[in-house]
Chains A and B, each alone.
Chain A
Amino acid sequence: MNYLASIGSYAIMIKEVFKKPTKWSIMKSLILKEIDELIYGSLGILIFISFFIGGVVAIQTALNITSELIPKNLVGFATRQSIILEFAPTFCSIIMAGKVGSYITSSIGTMRVTEQIDALEVMGVNALNYLVFPKIVALMLYPFIIAIAMYVGIFGGWFAGVFGGFSTSADFIEGVQLDFIPFHITYSFLKTIVFAFVLATIPSYHGFYMKGGALEVGKASTTSFVWTSVVIIIINYILTQLLLG
C-alpha cells in the first residue's frame, strides 16, 4: 500500500515540476550549474571506470577462448557488444545512481531539513520546478557522456587486449567493426535518456519529501540509491524486450 502511495506522490511531483516555470533568466543559470555538477562532474569517474571495465571484458573474453575454431576477432566484437549494449548505458547509470543520485537526494534533503524549501514556498516559488527541472534538463545531456564512456570502454579493451598480449590490434579492430548494427546505438541512447530522467527524478523525490534531520538525509540517500538502481534495472529489462526482443 505504501509503495502505491509513493508511486502516486511521485507522479504528482512530476506534474508539479512542469507547472509554473521559474523565470528563464534564473532557470538558465540553474541549468548551467547543474550541467557542471551532474554532467561535467561525472565525466572523470565514468572515463576511469569505462577504461578499466573495457579492459577486463577484453581480457576475460580472450581467456575464455579455448577453441582454435573461434576467430580471434571475437575479443573486439564481444568488447564492443557488451560496452555498447549494456555496460555504458546500464552499468554507468547504476554508478551514476550512487554518485549523482546521492548528491541530488542529500542536497535537496538538506534544503528540506534547513527549511530552505519552506523559504522558497513561502516566497511563492514553485520549489519543485526550481529544484528538479534544471536537473532533468541537465541530465538530458547524459547520452553525451555515455557516448564518451562507450568510446573509452572500447579503447580500454583494445589497450588491454593488445598490450596484454591477448589479441593483435588488427584482430581487435576487425572484431569491433564486425556485424555492426547501428540500431544498437539508438537502443542504447534511448535507454540512456530514460535512465537520465529516472536519475534526476527519483533521487529528487526522496530528498524533497524526506522528514527528519541529518540522519534521515543519510537514510534517504541510501533509499534513493536502492530505488533508482531497481527502477533502472526493471526499465532496462522492459526496454530491451520492447526494442530488441
Chain B
Amino acid sequence: MIHVNNIHKSFDGTHILKGVETQFENGKTNLIIGQSGSGKTVFLKCLLGLFMPEEGSISYDGKIYKDLTPDEKRNLRQEMGMVFQGSALFDSMTVAGNVMFPLEMFTKQSKSEMQDRVDIVLKRVNLIDAHHKYPSEISGGMQKRVAIARAIVMNPKYLFCDEPNSGLDPRTSIIIDNLIKEITEEYNITTVINTHDMNSVMQIGEKIIFLKNGLKEWEGTKHEIFKTDNKAVTDFVYSSDLFKKVRQMYIEEKN
C-alpha cells in the first residue's frame, strides 16, 4: 500500500502539487486523471522517487521514502516497475535483452534461470515469438507489452504506468488495459496509472483520483464517477457526446 501524505512540489517558483493526500491499495488498479498541466506526471514522478516533494511524505508499506538511506531507496526502487509513456525500451537491446536487463543488473541468477524468467513474462504478455526483435522492429502496442514485461520481470510490489495507451488504437488500448489489470490481480501489485483515456477509466478504474491545479479534486470508483455531480470531474470525463450517452444509459439502468 502507498500512502501519500500532503505532498507539495514546486519548480522555479511555480507550485505544481499543492498538498495531495491519498492512498493506493494492494492488488488494485488506481488511476490518476486530470487535464494537461494538472500535475499528474509530477505526482507520478514523486511516487517513483524521481522528484522529492518539498513538503509531505510518501510511504510504501510503512516505509517513508524520505527517511530511507540511499541504499534502502535503491532497494525500494527495485521493487517498483514502471511503464513509460513512450515505452522507454533500450534501442540497442532486443526484446529479450530489454526484459532481461533488470535481472542482469540486480540478481545473481544464472543465464538459464534468467532466460526462463524472461520466457515466462514474455509468454504472459504474448510476445514470446518476438524475443529476438529490436524495439524498432515491433509495433507501438508490442513495445508497450515489452515495457510491461520488463516492469514485472522482477516481481515488483508497485507498478506505475504513465499513459500506457497513448498513441495506441482503441483495440490495442483495451488489450493493454486488461493486461495491466490482470497482472495487478495475479501478482497482487499496487498499480498506479496516469491516464487521459476515458475508456481505461470505465474499464479498469478501481480507484480514480482526479487532479485539478495540483490538488486532489475528487476520488472514487468507476461506478461512483457515473454518479458524481462534481462539475470539474463531469466536465472532464463527460466532455464527449459518447461518454455523456454512456453516463445517461448507466443512470437509466440503475434507476
Contacts and interface: CB of A to CB of B under 8 A. Distances in A.
Interface of A: 20, 22-23, 25-26, 114-116, 118-119, 121-125
Contacts of A26: 104-105
Contacts of B85: 115
Nearest to A124: B77
Contacts of B82: 118-119, 122
Chain B facing A: main interface SS:
mixed
Contact of A122 (B80, B89, B91, B106): B80
A115 B50 CA distance: 12
B75 A118 contact: no
Contact of A23 (B50, B73, B77, B104): B104
Given A121-B50, A122-B50, A124-B78, A115 B105 contact: no
A114 B48 CA distance: 17
B80 A116 contact: no
A76 B85 CA distance: 61
B88 A119 contact: yes
28 contacts: A20-B74, A23-B104, A23-B105, A26-B104, A26-B105, A114-B86, A114-B91, A115-B84, A115-B85, A115-B86, A115-B88, A116-B88, A116-B90, A116-B91, A118-B50, A118-B84, A118-B88, A119-B84, A122-B50, A122-B77, A122-B82, A123-B78, A123-B101, A123-B102, A123-B106, A124-B75, A124-B106, A125-B105
Contacts of A118: 50, 82, 84, 88
A124 B77 CA distance: 6
A115 B85 CA distance: 9
A183 to B, nearest CB: 42
A123 B105 contact: yes
A113 to B, nearest CB: 9
Interface of B: 48-50, 73-75, 77-78, 80, 82, 84-86, 88-91, 101-102, 104-106
Nearest to B80: A122
Contact of A124 (B74, B84, B104): B74
A116 B98 CA distance: 11
Given A115-B88, A118-B84, 20 more contacts: A20-B74, A22-B105, A23-B105, A26-B104, A114-B86, A114-B91, A115-B85, A116-B88, A116-B89, A116-B90, A119-B90, A121-B50, A122-B48, A122-B50, A122-B77, A122-B82, A123-B77, A123-B78, A124-B77, A124-B78
A26 B104 CA distance: 8
Contacts of A22: 105
Per CB-CB distance, the 6 closest pairs between chain A and chain B, nearest first, are: A124-B77, A115-B88, A119-B88, A124-B74, A115-B84, A122-B82
A25 B82 CA distance: 25
Q: Among A20, A22, A124, A125, which residue has the most Cβ atoms of chain B within 10 A?
A: A124
A130 to B, nearest CB: 9
B206 to A, nearest CB: 23
Nearest to B75: A124
Contacts of B49: 122
B108 to A, nearest CB: 9
A167 to B, nearest CB: 49
A200 to B, nearest CB: 18
Nearest to B70: A20
